[in-house]
């Protein structure tokens, strides 16, 4: 029997669908799951894959079924589970074998594993995978990082299974943990995008009393503009969906308690570490955190009651909302891309932002129309705020964004992600910030010194 081209460890929905994707692209795949019953269930449900999927029931069997140098993709929960799999594999691996971690691992863990395995001549690739279960099956966005030589070695295989628009959405992200860092920030941008859409939905339903069908129709119209995105598209579907049990709109029956898997929190932590602010992402993360406190929110609502709602005239509303969403979206991407650029600089990853955005064009959750002009803009300047393509758009869209923020403030509808986008732009586009006063305060109570505008040097004043 011929040996397999690639192995997949972890057969939850992402691992199973990725294995099937490889098979559909003419690869022979060895599969293993810690719980053997999961493997048996997959094989029983997929008789058409017999001979193309090879079921293995221990790691030694999986390794023994692979061509050398072996290529093994791990699709398990981030953290200890990844370390356990690696520990189990090592006794059976040979020099130059390649382990590809396709889960949402923390990039610092990935960097440590990369270095530790390299000492044993085993190659480790941290690869972000985006697109959900459907993307894993039909073609995800892939973000591999590690040794450039090794990523180039496996790139033809990855290109076969990646999304295509029209070229494969998989590019080398940079050294060591770069692949998982890029995926982490991708998820942070995803947080912001989802929150921006949710904030507009909240304004429409609370201030203007629009029903789900009307909001869905508006978003469907937005899809014909440069706001077109996967997330806006699925929002239209969600708003129209009726519940099979009650006949009511399903979204109205879902508790307003949003969850997350940790990548949003990691993005914020790393933004602080690298001194690169991501206020839209922080606003989105904070909104989810507060949403979990349902009981506390009910208690506060009982004390403070309903708010007085004010409106923008309806005839101008949709154009203003579109411009506001456009500005908030561009600024959310700018925040994430600047964080990636700074981490790449500090860690010497040599991450190419054009390649990052190119890998997101299809297959991933944040794919959208604006990525194409971003590619050309980033080829000229790594900061979207300094690019010709987006400077004019932002200048035109900031006033509508502020109108929506004022509307929310006056009406008691919170807009944390859009507010974060606005102050990010205002601070970066300001020549005279009030932080001169803050530095004076620091010098007053802590002798932290300051620099002057009129002469070189470091100064301290005895203020009292």
Length of the chain: 464
The strand ranges marked E within 262-362 are: none
DSSP E strands, 67-200: 71-74, 98-101, 123-130, 141-145
Write out the catalytic residue numbers.
Answer: 183, 190
Residue 170 tokens, joined: 């998989």
Count of beta carbons in the 10 Å neighbourhood of residue 61: 14
Q: Are strands 141-145 and 123-130 parallel, antiparallel or unpaired?
A: antiparallel
Asked whether the beta carbons of 128 and 179 are under 8 A apart, the reply is yes
Give the C-alpha separation, 377 to 63, whole Å: 45
71 vs 236: CA distance, rounded Å: 40
DSSP secondary structure, 116-145, as one string:
HHHTTT-EEEEEEEESHHHHHHH--EEEEE
Residue 132 to residues 23, 103, 156, 178, 230, Cα–Cα distance (Å): 18, 12, 22, 21, 12
Do residues 24 and 3 lie in contact, with contact meaning Cβ atoms separated by under 8 Å? no
Residue 190 DSSP SS3: helix
Residue 8 gets which letter from DSSP?
A: E
Q: How far is CA 199 from CA 107, 128, 140, 205, 226, in A?
A: 30, 28, 28, 10, 19
DSSP label at residue 166:
S
Phi (first) and psi of residue 54, to 5 degrees: -110, 115
The DSSP secondary-structure symbol of 9 reads E
* Dist. CA 4–CA 266, nearest whole Å: 36
């Amino acid at each position: 029997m011929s040996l397999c081209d690639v192995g997949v460890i972890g057969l939850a929905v992402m691992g199973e669908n990725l294995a099937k994707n490889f098979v559909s692209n003419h690869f022979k795949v060895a599969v293993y799951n810690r719980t053997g019953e999961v493997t048996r269930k997959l094989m029983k449900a997929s008789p058409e894959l017999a001979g193309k999927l090879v079921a293995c029931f221990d790691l030694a069997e999986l390794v023994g079924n692979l061509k050398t140098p072996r290529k093994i993709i791990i699709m398990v929960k981030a953290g200890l589970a990844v370390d356990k799999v690696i520990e189990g594999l090592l006794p059976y691996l040979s020099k130059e074998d390649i382990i590809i971690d396709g889960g949402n691992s923390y990039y610092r863990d990935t960097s440590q594993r990369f270095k530790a395995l390299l000492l044993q001549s085993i190659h480790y690739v941290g690869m972000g995978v985006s697109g959900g279960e459907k993307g894993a099956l039909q073609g995800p966005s892939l973000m591999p990082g590690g040794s450039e030589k090794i990523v180039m070695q496996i790139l033809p295989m990855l290109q076969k299974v990646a999304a295509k628009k029209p070229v494969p959405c998989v590019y080398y992200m940079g050294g060591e943990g770069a692949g998982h860092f890029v995926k982490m920030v991708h998820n942070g941008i995803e947080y912001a995008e989802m929150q921006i859409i949710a904030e507009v939905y909240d304004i429409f339903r609370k201030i203007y009393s629009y029903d789900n069908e009307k909001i869905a129709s508006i978003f469907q119209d937005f899809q014909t503009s440069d706001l077109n995105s996967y997330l806006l598209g699925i929002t239209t579907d969600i708003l129209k969906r009726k519940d099979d049990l009650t006949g009511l709109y399903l979204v109205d029956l879902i508790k307003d308690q949003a969850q997350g898997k940790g990548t949003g929190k990691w993005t914020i932590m790393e933004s602080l570490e690298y001194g690169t602010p991501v206020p839209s992402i922080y606003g989105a993360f904070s909104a989810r955190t507060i949403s979990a406190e349902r009981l506390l929110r009910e208690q506060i609502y009982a004390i403070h009651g309903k708010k007085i709602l004010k409106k923008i005239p309806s005839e101008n509303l949709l154009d203003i909302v579109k411009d506001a969403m456009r500005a908030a979206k561009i600024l959310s991407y700018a925040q994430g891309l600047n964080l990636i650029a700074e981490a790449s600089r500090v860690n010497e990853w040599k991450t190419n932002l054009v390649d990052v955005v190119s890998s997101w064009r299809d297959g991933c959750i944040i794919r959208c129309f604006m990525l194409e002009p971003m590619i050309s803009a980033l080829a000229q300047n790594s900061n979207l705020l300094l690019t010709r393509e987006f400077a004019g758009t932002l200048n035109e869209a900031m006033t509508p964004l502020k109108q929506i923020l004022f509307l929310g403030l006056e009406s008691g509808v919170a807009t944390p992600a859009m507010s974060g986008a606005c102050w990010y732009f205002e601070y970066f586009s300001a020549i005279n910030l009030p932080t001169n006063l803050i530095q004076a305060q620091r010098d007053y109570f802590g002798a932290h010194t300051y620099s002057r505008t009129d002469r070189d040097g470091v100064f301290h004043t005895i203020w009292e």
